[in-house]
Chains A and B, each alone.
Chain A
Amino acid sequence: MSGRAAHAGTGRELWLAIAAFLVALAMPARAQQDVPEAGPLAVSRPPDAENGRRIVTDRRKGLCLLCHSGPFPEVRFQGDLAPSLAGAGSRWTPAQLRARLIDSRLFNGETIMPPYFRAEGQSRMAVAFKGRTILTAEEIEDVTAFLATLRE
């Protein structure tokens, strides 16, 4: 099953997500409240926030700090293409964080954030990555759990 199908869940949830997306589109950028949400993914073990932190700070795994900065003093080079991850857990609920990770295009069709749990729809996917998502369901849950701890 693809990551997207797993995330969409029932048809009702999918329509809610689409409706939320359309509402968000029609509203001024700063006034978004009804943003897409995604319930916990089916995983084989409980979320591990510590592993989530490792993924976030790994340039080859999570890639997060190529674009984002955040409270990671040990990481020397951080990006400034995207907002700081500091306080992400105060700004967004876990369900909203998870939805962003799965496919940030649900929030913003023009986003530069890669879709971390979508293996279909990309053009010219490298052979080595074909059919694979950037993170596994377990890793999505780990990162979600970790980001939720980043409170201001």
Chain B
Amino acid sequence: MTGRAGRAFALAILLLGHALADDIPANQRLSGHDMMGAEAQAMQRDDFANPAMLAVKEGEALWKAAPGEGRPSCQSCHGDAAESMKGVAARYPARDASTGRAFDLPGQIQACQTGRQAVAPSARESAALLALEAYLSLQSRGMPLASPRARGLEDAVLRGEKLYRQRFGQLDLSCAQCHSQNWGRSLGGTRIPQAHPTGYPLFRMEWQAIGSLQRRFRNCMTGIRAEPFPAGAPEWVDLEIYLKERAADMAMDAPGVRP
């Protein structure tokens, strides 16, 4: 009996393995940094050469500055970011305890601006929001991405995975078809990465600018001739949560440089 149960269990594990086999095994995961050329890697590693570090400097100034007369600065509540924000970006997106809604890091900054600082929130993809995001992300550099599932975001992980595997657009392609099943191959001369969001916000040479993960999502959707979700849409947050579950324990390298 136990032998049969054992065999059934082994079969179940085998089938489960097959079901998961269309994604990258944990020990073969590579970040965009791992996959890019040595020159771009060197540019990222050198804080004086990394163009995203300009945004970090700007973000540090914004962190310390009061957004208006009598309004608290980020620092007046949170203190020294090097202390209080250490590892925080690695745990985003996070669920807001009062509303139950999951915020990505820029969304949380906007919520602080509206709720705590009583100012108009910085727009998505604005220089100010990217700068604050870059400054906060730097405080998690080298730290492992925390598993969203382990912090109670299971539902969002499942929704995000569904989006990751769904075909979109006139070209009828899913994220998974390129980034899980064909990573490393040449798409018209460009090497397809594994889509692990370890380095955002990052300076992309193609953009000649620092940009967010949602900007990257938009680019992919436009490329397959699909209508992107609006900036800040919950679908983007779900997708980010899934990608961070998929990349759990990988080291953050924000603010990154990418080709």
Contacts and interface: CB of A to CB of B under 8 A. Distances in A.
Given A112-B182, A126-B222, A79 B188 contact: yes
B37 interface: no
Interface in B50-95: none
- Sorting the interface of chain A by its residue count into under 10, 10 to 19, 20 to 34 or 35 or more gives 20 to 34
Interface string A120-134: 011111111100101
Interface residues of B, number: 24
Interface string B171-206: 111000110011001111110100000000000000
A112 B166 CA distance: 12
Nearest to B188: A66
A115 interface: yes
Contact of B186 (A80, A119, A126, A129): A80
Contacts, number: 74
B168 interface: yes
B170 A134 contact: yes
B54 to A, nearest CB: 31
Interface in B103-135: none
Given A114-B173, A129-B225, A78 B168 contact: no
Interface in A44-101: 59, 63, 65-67, 76-81
Q: Helix, strand, loop or mixed for chain B's interface? A: loop
Contact of A77 (B173, B182, B189): B189
Candidate in B166, B172, B187, B221 with the most chain A CB atoms within 10 angstroms: B172
Given A123-B166, A126-B169, A81 B225 contact: no
B170 A125 contact: yes
A125 B188 contact: no
Contacts of A78: 186, 188-189
Contacts of A67: 187-188
A79 B168 contact: no
Given A66-B187, A67-B187, A77-B186, A124 B227 contact: yes
Interface string B135-172: 00000000000000000000000000000001111111
Nearest to A104: B172
B81 to A, nearest CB: 38
B226 interface: yes
Nearest to B177: A112
Contacts of A112: 173, 177-178, 181-182
A116 B120 CA distance: 46
Contacts of A114: 170-173
Contacts of A123: 166-169, 226
A125 B185 contact: no
Sort A-B residue pairs by CB-CB distance and give the 8 closest, nearest first. Answer: A77-B189, A66-B188, A114-B171, A129-B170, A124-B226, A124-B227, A126-B225, A80-B186
